Amino acid sequence: MPVSEQTFVAGRLRLAARRWGNPGGLPVMALHGWLDNAASFDCLGPLLGACDLVCLDLAGHGKSQGRVGMGAYNLWQDLGEIFCVADQLGWERFALIGHSRGAMIAFLAAGTLPERISHLVLIEGGLPRTATAEQAPEVLADSLRALRLATARARQFYPGFAEAVAARQQGLFPLTESDALLLARHGVVETDRGFHWSYDPKLMAGSEVRFSIEQVEAFRRRLTAPTQVILGLQGFIAQEPEALAWLARSPEWQQVWLPGDHHLHMHAQCDAVASAIRRHLNIPDDEEGLV
């Protein structure tokens, strides 16, 4: 199944996307994780052919422009850009698939404008990190310190493309060579100084402000879209007691546990993940390859 490259404009930002499937199918937007890019969904794209699947490079990632200024990449900033792209596509109502950080953004989007989200799929993520009112000053201070370091540090260049791929394999969430290669083909830039990953260094800083637990709960209560959570048995969420407690308090969310790690939606378990998503979106298996 062919994939097309598209560009959207949201405010002053140029946002890139990879588009799969059937232009007349169910509209679905996919949001990748931290320091990943739209190619994170290249394994799922051909398996969701009945959908009109638009996989965004979020601001500062992949081939999308980074935000100007000295601010961090706070999760809620992506929401206006997501809905702006949906408006340009003519989508009044659409499904959202998010992985990791993208799942947090998808969760907030579905809780902010629930009338616009038909279905929600959260892969290895969903609930934003929280902080109490007392923690707010230190959260902001940590973000400012990290921003200062990120903007002062020289960008990492690699002598060859293979070295850039190998570096991504050893990231916070280790990747197989095949998965790192997918991301690198879309997110590594060649210059006269060597090869480098295209993401904005300011992404290394955490959010300047975090929602409280009470605020996150308010977003959850506002959700109306049928919600599916896909988790890896060896993934990040399985090791987070707070996240597991939230899931236990959300019995209306369908949980799908599969063998695999944080990036199980890529090569490792893409068939099983795609099958679960098709069931959630009410797409018959015999339509999976529809173009």
Query: Structural domain of residue 48, as residue ranges?
Result: 4-131+211-287
Helix (H) or strand (E) holding 194: strand 194-197
CATH code of the domain in which 24 resides: 3.40.50.1820
Number of domains in the chain: 1
Q: Is residue 171 part of a domain?
A: no
Supply the pLDDT for residue 230: 98
Q: Is residue 107 part of a domain?
A: yes
Supply the pLDDT for residue 291: 37
Q: Is residue 141 part of a domain?
A: no
Q: Is residue 166 part of a domain?
A: no
Q: Is residue 195 part of a domain?
A: no
Supply the pLDDT for residue 161: 98
Q: Is residue 102 part of a domain?
A: yes
Helix (H) or strand (E) holding 9: strand 4-10
Q: What is the DSSP string of 27-75?
A: EEEEE--TT--GGGGTTTGGGGTTEEEEEE--TTSTTSPPPPSS----T
100 is catalytic: yes
The DSSP letter of residue 274 is H
Q: Is residue 139 part of a domain?
A: no
Supply the pLDDT for residue 171: 85
pTM of the model: 0.96
The active-site residue out of 40, 64, 100, 207 is: 100
Token pair for 261: 């790690």
The parts of the chain modelled with pLDDT lower than 70 are 1, 286-291
The DSSP letter of residue 115 is G
Q: Is residue 79 part of a domain?
A: yes
Supply the pLDDT for residue 286: 58
Judge contact between 177 and 169, C-beta under 8 A.
yes
Q: What is the DSSP string of 207-263?
A: PSS-B-HHHHHHHHHH--S-EEEEEETTSSGGG-HHHHHHHHT-TTSEEEEES--TT
Supply the pLDDT for residue 290: 47
Residues contacting residue 64 through CB under 8 Å, at least 6 positions apart: 13, 14, 15, 16, 56, 57, 58
